[in-house]
Amino acid sequence: MSGWFTHTVAVRLAVFVVTALIALAPNFIAFPMPETAVVLNKAQVSFNGGAAQAVGLPHTWPHDRSYGAARATYSIRVPAVAMAPGKMLVIPAARQPLIARLNDQRLDGSDTRPWSRLATGAAYFLTLPRIGPPAVDGQLDITLERRDGAVPGHLSPIYIADQDTIDGNWLWTLGGESIWITVLVIQILVTLGITIVWMARRHDPVFGWLFLIASGSLVRMLLGLPSEPQALVDAQLYFMFLMSSLGLTGIGLALAIVDSARPLWLKVAVVVTPLLLAAGLASGIFPPLPVVLVSALIATGSNIVAAVLLLRGSLRSAEWEHLFLAVPFFLMGWFGLRDLGVVVGVVDGVFLLTDYVRALTITAIFAMLMWRLAVSLNALDEANDILRQKLTEQQAELTVLHQRETVRASSVAREEERQRLMRDLHDGLSGHLVSIIALSEREAADPAAIERTAREALDDLRMVINSLDLGDGDLLLALAEFRERVGPRLRRIGVAFEWSVENLPRIGGVTPGNALSILRILQEAVTNAIKHGPARSIEIASATGEGGSAVITVRNDGVVTSGSIRGHGLNNMQSRAHALGGRIDLSHCDGQAMLTLVLPACLAES
């Protein structure tokens, strides 16, 4: 327990230290310049075409905290010895669009750049004309123009240095156009990724609030780029009120992450607050600068509140992602306050960092949410593995139970079939035995009748016994045994017998009971032909009928009248055939009678 506590405290302390270092980094990072560079740090400046006055560089203007258009022109003397070929003019930091002229010749690279946020600060690298060193000092004129907003202009000291001493230093990218292009591309990619995840998880409030922050931040960044015509420039003031909406949305995101309820007033405030600020400005009730500062204060305060909510959530639930997500929200609030201080002139700063931090914050939030998604997917994979293992075990158990149940059901079915056959045997054999006893008890007993009845009883017994072990596909075997039993009997009494069942199709569903029913139908047909024909020849043949059915015919030359048909066991044979799913047809012509048994391809359970 103590080890876990120590580890937890160490991690939290490390997070706090890293956060503090990031927050204080702008106070320690400076653009390095080579020692051989010529430093230009004195100038004459005129504001809005007024009288010139001497100032030192760095210099910030205006000091009256005004809002709207303003212009400052700096005139700087450049030593003749510094204007040699291969030299570069380096301006580490300048806020507002900059145009530079050396001896009335405009320097390339000082135009307004479309992908740069010039009002937040930019670095300039201007190539001097490739001519020999002049005989006299030159004059460098630098114009900074603020077209709108309240961000004061700023000009750092100016350096003239060799190009090879400047190339390759990464710090220059912080103020260059490439960093803004990188930030913008990251913002677009992150917004696209968040949008895709939100569309797939519309039920998750975290991604819904994050989508609002990412899309609103991207719109805010795009609208902050230099634009034409003037109407779009004037409209940018109203879009600055999106800052308040983005800050309030951060509170909603924090509440969703810590799984707390999002109050209705917060959702209403996200939409209503920028509209109220824009209406107050448009109506002339409030001047521009106070309204913009109020919007920025709402955004800054909301980010700090979101950080506190996440920090409190991490202390309550020990969720590390809550602690890590509190860091970018705190940095947004911290640098937002710093930039407000720069704007109103109470903080000495060069670059405005809120837009940088906002893009990095959204990227960090997106990374943490992707980490949460990865953890969820890993947990899902583990759960699937456990379920798959349990399913395999259950399937194995079900297979064993199924096999046992199949064996048990087969045993029960076979036992029931045996019991039915035994009852059938009992009923049939009992009748024959009663007949034998009755014949033997008569005074004038007929031995031939007693023998015939005894043989019939014996045949019935053999037929039942032989059917006990019959199964599916054994119908031909049962018919063969029937032939071996009936053939000799018919020959003894002088009846010709023909047998042809080679064309019998394969029939499914043959059980001992079904086979016994078929044999009893054939036996009944043969017995009727002998008793009521009297037949002198009997023919049993088979064929394939419609749909794979089996057709067995019993033909004899006995005389069969229509009046004797129903009295000779036909009803009993019909009942047995119907129980099998088949039928019996009886016909006669040309002195012959033919009984047709039609059986389906698969016999029904009797």
The alpha carbon torsion through 130, 134, 136, 140 (nearest 10 deg) reads 0
Alpha-carbon Rg for the chain in angstroms: 53
- CB-neighbour burial class of residue 390 (10 A; exposed 0-12, middle 13-18, buried 19+): exposed
Q: What is the largest CA-CA distance in the chain?
A: 168
Cis peptide before 157 (omega within 30 of 0): no
- Distance separating alpha carbons of residues 67 and 81, to the nearest angstrom: 41
**CB neighbours of residue 492 within 10 Å:** 9
- Distance separating alpha carbons of residues 316 and 110, to the nearest angstrom: 53
Contact 353, 309 (CB under 8 A): no
Ramachandran area for residue 445 (φ above 0: left; ψ -120 to 50: alpha; else beta): beta
Assigned token pair, 46: 């005129």
Assigned token pair, 204: 């998750």
User: What Å distances lie between residue 595 and 482, 487, 519, 556, CA to CA?
Assistant: 17, 18, 14, 9
- Distance separating alpha carbons of residues 56 and 44, to the nearest angstrom: 9
* pLDDT, position 523: 84
Q: What angle do CA 456, 462, 468 make, to 5 degrees?
A: 140
Ramachandran area for residue 229 (φ above 0: left; ψ -120 to 50: alpha; else beta): beta
Structure-token match 């991490």, residue found: 314
- Distance separating alpha carbons of residues 123 and 30, to the nearest angstrom: 12
Structure-token match 């906002």, residue found: 358
**CB neighbours of residue 414 within 10 Å:** 15
Phi, psi of 280 (to 5 degrees): -65, -35
Of 304, 302, 232, 253, nearest in space to 274 by CA: 302
* pLDDT, position 1: 47
In b/e form, how buried is each residue of 460-475, taking b as 16+ CB within 10 angstroms?
beebbebbeebeeebb
- pTM of the entire predicted model: 0.61
Phi, psi of 349 (to 5 degrees): -140, 160
- CB-neighbour burial class of residue 47 (10 A; exposed 0-12, middle 13-18, buried 19+): middle
- Distance separating alpha carbons of residues 326 and 10, to the nearest angstrom: 17
- Distance separating alpha carbons of residues 450 and 441, to the nearest angstrom: 11
Mean pLDDT by groups of 10 residues along the chain of 606 residues: 60 84 79 78 90 91 78 91 79 87 82 62 79 74 86 89 65 57 79 84 82 82 62 64 87 88 91 88 82 89 93 81 86 91 83 79 77 82 92 91 84 70 62 66 66 70 68 75 83 86 84 82 84 83 88 82 54 86 85 88 78
Kindly give, in sequence order, each residue whose CB lies less than 8 Å from that of residue 433, ignoring residues fewer than 6 positions away. Answer: 457
Contact 429, 457 (CB under 8 A): yes
- Distance separating alpha carbons of residues 63 and 186, to the nearest angstrom: 35
* pLDDT, position 361: 77
- Distance separating alpha carbons of residues 595 and 522, to the nearest angstrom: 9
User: What Å distances lie between residue 74 and 50, 275, 606, CA to CA?
Assistant: 12, 40, 113
Structure-token match 């990619």, residue found: 189
Assigned token pair, 198: 């939100």
Of 4, 17, 22, nearest in space to 331 by CA: 22
Of 333, 252, 256, nearest in space to 297 by CA: 333
Assigned token pair, 387: 């379920």
Structure-token match 């190539």, residue found: 127
- CB-neighbour burial class of residue 168 (10 A; exposed 0-12, middle 13-18, buried 19+): exposed
Structure-token match 């201080």, residue found: 341
- Which residues lie across from 100 on neighbouring strands? 142
Q: What angle do CA 132, 135, 139 make, to 5 degrees?
A: 90
Of 133, 78, 127, 125, nearest in space to 103 by CA: 78
Kindly report the three-state secondary structure assignment for every residue of 22-50.
Answer: HHHHHHCCCCCCCCCCEEECEEEEEECCC
- Distance separating alpha carbons of residues 588 and 136, to the nearest angstrom: 142
